[in-house]
Structure 1
Amino acid sequence: MRYLFEDYALDTDRRELYRATDVIIVTPQVFDLLDYLVRNRERVVSKDYLINAVWSERIVSDAALTARVNAARSAIGDTGEKQRLIKYCGAKVSAS
């Protein structure tokens, strides 16, 4: 499945993120985080749901989650200041 947003494409079959025709290298956890947020873009997800989906209920520190959210933002040209595509307030996350 290919999800298109702005000038990005998230190809879940190939597990690749593209900007136009360029592949953007992301870690597997960052890809899974983007995949989960894109699939659930119509709602705000709790930190617990996100951790369960991406880390399979492993214990994850807030710092590790924040780092992955920031890496995902960076990969798609977003920032914590703008929060144009990924909104994160510590307990809840959403994709625009």
Structure 2
Amino acid sequence: MKDTVLLNAKLLAEVYIRQIDKDNTLIVCSNLLQFSYEKGLLLKSPFDEQGNLKIETIIRESDLTEIGKQIFDDLVDKWLTYTDRTQKYNNIAMLEKYFNKLNDNL
């Protein structure tokens, strides 16, 4: 069984040249992963004891709960598309909206 990588926070940030873009990407990942962990999509926290995102975080299929396996990939896609389009990196209300819509469709 292949354990597909669904999100690599460090790799996403490294593709940008400007530091502000790297920082914003880490904010996007941090908000997404905090939300996902709180909603029970992730099996383990991607944050350290101080609540900071572990920069080496890689989310694989095996890191997801059963509900996470059903909606995490779509949630990531919707969130990255939204934040790229709007530049609103902290709009957790949109994450909640996407999560509820995906969860309702199960």
TM-score by length of 1: 0.30
Query: Per residue, is there more helix in 1 or in 2?
Result: 2
Asked which structure has the greater RCO (Cα within 8 Å, sep 6+), the reply is 2
Q: TM-score, normalised by structure 2?
A: 0.28
Q: Quick check: which has more Rg, 1 or 2?
A: 2
**Structure with greater strand percent:** 1
